[in-house]
Amino acid sequence: MSDSKKKDDAEQDLMSKIVSLCKRRGFIFQSSEIYGGLRSCYDYGPLGVELKRNVKEQWWRSVVHGREDVVGIDASIIMSPKVWEASGHVSGFSDPLVDCRKCKSRWREDKLAEPRCPKCGGELTEARQFNLMFSTKLGPLEDDSATVYLRPETAQAMFVNFLNVQQAYRMKIPFGIAQVGKSFRNEIVVEHFTFRSCEFEQMEMEFFVKPGTDDEWLEYWKEARFSWYKDLGATPEKLRLRQHEPDERAHYAKDCYDVEYEYPWGWDELEGVANRTDYDLAKHEKASGKKLSYFDPQAQERFLPYVIEPAAGADRAALMFLVDAYEEEPPSEGRKDGRTVLRLDPRLAPIKAAVLPLKKNDENLVAKAREIVQEFFLHSVNAFYDEKDSIGRRYARQDEAGTPWCLTVDFQSLDDDTVTIRDRDTMAQERISVDEAVKTVESKLRAKA
> Using CB under 6 A as the criterion, which residues of the chain lie in contact with ligand ATP when the complex forms?
153, 185, 187, 196-197, 200, 202, 269-272, 311-313, 315-316
Choice between 153 and 345, CB closer to ligand ATP:
153
Choice between 171 and 203, CB closer to ligand ATP:
203
Helix, coil or strand: residue 107:
strand
Burial of 312 (0-12, 13-18, 19+ CB in 10 A): buried
Query: Least distance to ligand ATP from the beta carbon of 379, Å?
Result: 33
CA angle centred on 283, ends 281 and 289, rounded to 5°: 90
Choice between 206 and 386, CB closer to ligand ATP:
206
Query: Least distance to ligand ATP from the beta carbon of 276, Å?
Result: 11
Pick the closest to residue 369 from 385, 390, 353 (CA basis). Answer: 385
Query: Least distance to ligand ATP from the beta carbon of 282, Å?
Result: 20
Query: Least distance to ligand ATP from the beta carbon of 280, Å?
Result: 13
Query: Least distance to ligand ATP from the beta carbon of 36, Å?
Result: 21
Query: Least distance to ligand ATP from the beta carbon of 311, Å?
Result: 4
Choice between 267 and 295, CB closer to ligand ATP:
267
Query: Least distance to ligand ATP from the beta carbon of 92, Å?
Result: 13
Q: CA-to-CA distance for 94 and 433, rounded, in angstroms?
A: 60
Pick the closest to residue 266 from 231, 228, 246, 240 (CA basis). Answer: 240
Query: Which residue's CB comes closest to ligand ATP?
Result: 313
Query: Least distance to ligand ATP from the beta carbon of 79, Å?
Result: 17
Half-sphere exposure of 124 (CA within 13 A, CB side): 22
Query: Least distance to ligand ATP from the beta carbon of 362, Å?
Result: 47
Burial of 332 (0-12, 13-18, 19+ CB in 10 A): exposed
User: Can you give the length of the chain in residues?
Assistant: 449
Choice between 279 and 384, CB closer to ligand ATP:
279
For helices 391-401 and 3-25, the axis angle rounded to 10 degrees is 120
DSSP codes, 8-31: HHHHHHHHHHHHHHHHHHTSEEET
Q: Output the CA torsion 30→34→39→44 (10° steps).
A: -20
Query: Least distance to ligand ATP from the beta carbon of 40, Å?
Result: 8
Choice between 11 and 187, CB closer to ligand ATP:
187
Choice between 262 and 269, CB closer to ligand ATP:
269
Q: CA-to-CA distance for 69 and 423, rounded, in angstroms?
A: 38
Beta-bridge partner residues of 243: 257
Choice between 271 and 278, CB closer to ligand ATP:
271
Query: Contact at 8 Å (CB) between 127 and 96?
Result: yes
Choice between 124 and 311, CB closer to ligand ATP:
311
Q: CA-to-CA distance for 174 and 208, rounded, in angstroms?
A: 5
Choice between 130 and 385, CB closer to ligand ATP:
130
CA angle centred on 147, ends 141 and 152, rounded to 5°: 150
DSSP run (H or E) holding 282: helix 279-288
DSSP run (H or E) holding 229: helix 214-231
Helix, coil or strand: residue 213:
coil
Tell me how far the alpha carbon of residue 357 is from its chain's centroid: 34
Choice between 225 and 284, CB closer to ligand ATP:
225
Query: Least distance to ligand ATP from the beta carbon of 405, Å?
Result: 31
Write out the E strands in 314-357. 326-329, 339-342, 353-357
CA angle centred on 274, ends 48 and 40, rounded to 5°: 35
